[in-house]
Amino acid sequence: MTAASLAVFVVFFLSGFSALVYQVVWQRSLFAIYGINLESVTVVVTAFMLGLGLGSLAGGALSKDPKRPVLLMFAAVEAGIGAFGLVSLSLFHHVGMATLRLPSLVTALVTFVLVLAPTLLMGSTLPLLTAHLVRRSGNVGKSVGVLYFVNTLGSALASIAAVLWLLPRLGQARSVVAAAIVNLVAASIVGGFALVERRREHRA
Amino acid sequence: MSFSLSLWVAGLAGFVALSYEIIWYRAYGVVSRSMPTTFGLLLGAYLAGVAAGSLGSRAFCHDDARLERRRLLPVAAFVYLANLASFLVVPALARLVTSVRWQLSLPLVALSAGLLGAVLPLASHFGIRPDDRAGARLSYLYVANIVGSSLGSLVTGFVLLEHLSLRGASVALSLAGLALFALLGVSATSTVRGRAAVLGASAATLVATVAASGPAFEQLHERLFFRKQFTADKRFEHLIENRHGVIAVTDGKVYGGGVYDGILNVGLRHDPNWVFRAYALAAYHPAPKRVLMVGLASGAWARILAGLPGVERLTVVEINPGYLELIPKIPEVAPLLKDPKIEIVIDDGRRWIQRHPDARWDAIVMNTTWHWRGHSTNLLSAEFFELVRARLAPGGVFTFNTTLSEAVMKTAAVTFPYAQRMYNFMVVSDSPVAFDKARWKTTLTEYRMDGAPLLDPEHDAWDKKRLDDLLYLPDTLDRPPVWEGLESRESLLARFGHLPTVTDDNMWCEWHPSDLEEEDLSPRELDEPVVVEPFHERVEVRAGHLGRDVELVGDRLRDGVERGAPRARQRAPRGDADLVEREVELGVEIEQHARAVAEHGEQHPRVGDDGHAAQRLTSGGARRVST
C-alpha cells in the first residue's frame, strides 16, 4: 500500500467519523425544533438518507470523467462539509424558528433542504474515492470494501464516542466544531497528496 | 451478476438492514430504559459490524470470478445467514438480559449487521465493471441501497410496527430477507433443479421461522422489561404496541418504553405515587381556568386537574396515542375521556407549545419522565422554560417534575424570579409563588372524585392521619430542607447554584443523573434514623415528615439487588430505572403496613416481601413486630 493510498484510507476514516458526529448532533438539534414524534424523526432520518443518495449520484457523475482530479474534488467536498458544520446549528435554529408554525409538509421540506447541502457533499465522497482507487487497482469490490470499511469504522467509533464522550462533555455546538476541524484536517491531508500527485504526473 | 440485479440486491439489502435496525432499536429502547446512550451504542455496534462485513467481503472479490454465476452463491449464503442472525437478535437479547447486562448483547447486533453489511460490497463487485464508470455505477448502487433503506424506515416504522407486534414485524422482515436470498439463489443457479432447491429452502425456512417465532418471542416484553427480575409467572396485564412505542401495565403501574410512567391511582388514601402533588396545584393558584398539561400517560393527573376548583379547560398534549387505547380499560381514569373540560392533543409537547404563540395558560403542568432519559432535555432545558414562561398568563404558574435532578431545579430557579420546590416538583412563576394552606385544606376536604371525598378523617383513623400529614406539608418550608417537603428558591440556589444550567446544547440532565448526597437533605431534623433487624434482611428506615409515610433510605438486600430510596439510587448504576420500580414497590409496601398498623394497632404483623422481614415503622421509631 502506497503512502497515498494509506492517506486516502485515513482521511476516509476521519470523514466517516465527522459525518456521524454531525448526524447525531443535527438529529438532536432538529428534534428539539420539530419534535421527537415518529413523523419528525422519520422526516429527519429520511432527509439524511435522501441527501446522501443524491450526493452519491452527484459524486458518481463527477467521477465519470477520468481526467477529473477526484482527490482534489474530495478535498474540496470535505472542506465544504466542515464549513457548513461550523454554521449548521445556528442556521438550523434560525430557520427552524422561522418555519416552525408552517404546515407539517412545509416543515418536512424545510428539514430536507436544511440537511441537503451537507449530506449531498457527504454522499459524494464514496464514489469519488472509489473512482480514485479503481483507477489504480482495477478491482471494484476490494476498493469499495476497504473504503466502506474505513469509512464505516470511523462512523461506528463516532457514534459511540458521541454518546459516551463528545456530547456529555462538549455539548452540541462544540462537538460540531470538533467535527468541522476533523473535516478540515482531512481536506488538508488529501488535498496535499493530490497536489503532490498532480505535480508528479505533470513532471512525468 | 447483471447490474440491474445488483441494484435490486443493494436495494433489498438496504430495506432489510434498516428495518432490522428499527426493530432492534425498539427492543433496545425498552431494555435500556431509553437511556441517551442507547442509540449511539446500538448504532456503533451496527456500523462496526457493517464495517467488518465489508472488509470480510473482500475475500470473495476475486478478479477472475466476477462473471461466474456460481460466485453469487456466497452472496446468497451471506444474505441467508444475515437474515437468520438478524431475526434472532431480539429473542436472544430478551433471554440474555435475564442474566447479564444488555450491553453485552451488542456483539449479536454487530454480527448480524456484519453479515448484512457484506452484501453491498459483494453486489458492487459482482455487478460493476472495473472501468472508468465504476464510480458512477457505484453511485447508482449506493442510491439503490439508500432508497431501500429509506423505504425500510418508512414501511417498518409506520406500517409494520403500527399494525404488528415485534414478533410479527420480525417475521415479515424475515420474509423479505428470504425473498432476497431466493432472488440471489435463483440467479446463481442455471438448472431447474437448482432453482427448485433454492425456492424450497426458502419456503422451508419461512415455515420454520413462523413456527419458531412463537416460542422465541414468548413473554418477550416481560423479559426485556424485568430483565434479571424476570420469572415465568410475570405477565403484563395490558400491553400496547404501536409505532410510537410500547406501553405496559403490571401491578397497577404503567410503563412507557420500559420506564415507569405512573401508577393507576387518583386517591389520597393510598398514595404511593404522590398524586397529592396534582391536587396541590390548587394551593398554588386560586382558580386556574385554563390549564395545559404536557404528557397524559395513564391519565391520573389529568383526571385530578380537571376537577380542581376553577378549572374550566384542560388541554393535554401527549406524544403517544397508545395511552388513549389504555385509558378506557382502567376504571379509575376512563371517565376523563368523556370529560368535556378535557381536550387531548397528540403531538410533541414542546413543538405544540411553540406552534401556539398566542395561547396563555393559568397553569402549565408536566409530570413527565425521568431526567436521564434520552431527549428529556427538550422539556427540562432553560430554553424550554423560557418558552413556557412566555405562555403563562399573569399570575400563572408552571409546575413540573424534576425527577430529583438538582441541575433542573437550579435551571428553573434561575429562569423564573419566583420558585419553590414541592417534593420532586418545582413550582415557578413570574409572580410570587405561595402555598396557600387554607386552600390546601379546602381542596383536601371538599374535592370529590366520582362523588366521593378523598379522605374521611372523621370516621377513619388512617384518613385522619393522612390529612394531618398532608396539611403539615406547607410547614416544611420553614424547616431545614427535606425532599419530602417544600423548599424556597433561595435555599435551592444556595445548595445547587453551582451546578450548570441545563440547556439544549449541554443536555446536562441526560448525561448527569441525579447523584443526591443524603447528607444534604437528611431528614434527621425530623426523626432520627432507626435500624430494624429483620430476620432475613437489614433494613434501615427513617421517618419522613409525613409520619407514617416512611421513606426507606437504607439498604435492602434481596436477590443481590440493592433496594431503597435516595441512597440506593446513589449506589446503583447511574440511571438504572429498575430503582424507580423498586422505590415505588417499597412505597406501597410501607404504606400498606403503616395503614395496617393504624387500623389494627402496633401488633399488626407484617411488612415485607415473601413473608420475610417484617418491620413496622412509625415517625418516632421502628420496631420489629413479627415475621
Across B20-29, B130-139, B218-227, B473-482, least confident range: B130-139
CB contact under 8 Å between A163 and B40, yes or no, is: yes
* Domains in chain A with CATH codes: 3-203 (1.20.1250.20)
Predicted confidence at residue B229, as pLDDT, reads 83
Residue B582 clears pLDDT 50, i.e. is over it = no
Q: What is the Cα gyration radius of chain A?
A: 18
Rounded mean pLDDT, B560-577? 32
Alpha carbon distances (Å) from B477 to A177, B145, B409, B545: 45, 62, 16, 12
CB contact under 8 Å between B125 and A173, yes or no, is: no
Residue A105's pLDDT band, with cuts at 50, 70 and 90, is confident
In this predicted model, what pLDDT tens digit does every residue of B67-110 receive, in sequence order? 556 677 878 888 899 999 999 999 999 999 999 989 999 999 99
Q: What is the ipTM of this complex?
A: 0.89
Terminal Cα distance for chain B, rounded? 75
Pairing of strands B361-366, B392-401: parallel
The dihedral built from the CA positions of residue B3, B9, B14 and B15, taken in this order, carries a sign that is positive
Window A:85-144, CB contacts with B under 8 Å: 100-101, 123, 126-128, 130-131, 134-135, 137-144
Long-range contacts of A174-178 (CB under 8 A, 24+ apart): A175/A21, A175/A25, A176/A21, A176/A22, A176/A25, A176/A85, A176/A86, A176/A88, A176/A89, A177/A85, A177/A86, A178/A21
Predicted confidence at residue B556, as pLDDT, reads 35
In this predicted model, what pLDDT tens digit does every residue of B237-266 receive, in sequence order? 888 888 888 898 887 788 887 777 777 889
Rounded mean pLDDT, B436-461? 93
Predicted confidence at residue B242, as pLDDT, reads 87
Q: Which of A37, A39, A77 to mutate to test the interface with B (most CBs of B within 10 A)?
A: A37
The CATH class that applies to domain B254-514 reads alpha beta
Residue carrying the nine cell digits 439544549: B504
CB contact under 8 Å between A32 and B117, yes or no, is: no
In this predicted model, what pLDDT tens digit does every residue of A121-131 receive, in sequence order? 998 988 888 88
The CATH class that applies to domain B3-224 reads mainly alpha
CB contact under 8 Å between B54 and A142, yes or no, is: no
Pairing of strands B486-488, B418-422: antiparallel
* Domain limits, chain B: 3-224, 254-514, 520-623
Rounded mean pLDDT, A174-199? 91
Classify B245 in phi/psi space as left (phi over 0), alpha (psi -120 to 50) or beta. left
Chain B residues close to A167, C-beta within 8 Å: 36, 507, 511
Between A188 and B263, the more confident residue is A188
Rounded mean pLDDT, B496-514? 93
Residue B292's DSSP bridge partners are: B315, B364
Hey, is the C-beta of A157 within 8 angstroms of any chain B C-beta? yes
Asked if B3-224 and B254-514 have one fold, the answer is no
Cβ contact B373:B493 at 8 Å = no
Rounded mean pLDDT, B424-453? 95
Chain B residues close to A63, C-beta within 8 Å: 135-136, 139
Residue B326 clears pLDDT 80, i.e. is over it = yes
Cβ contact B469:B546 at 8 Å = yes
Cβ contact B125:B152 at 8 Å = no
Q: Is B452 exposed, middle or buried (0-12, 13-18, 19+ CB in 10 A)?
A: exposed
Between A64 and B359, the more confident residue is B359
Chain A residues close to B124, C-beta within 8 Å: 140-141, 144
Residue A73 clears pLDDT 80, i.e. is over it = yes
How many separate helices (H) and strands (E) can be counted in chain B? 24, 21
- Closest C-alpha to B104, from B228, B191, B6: B228
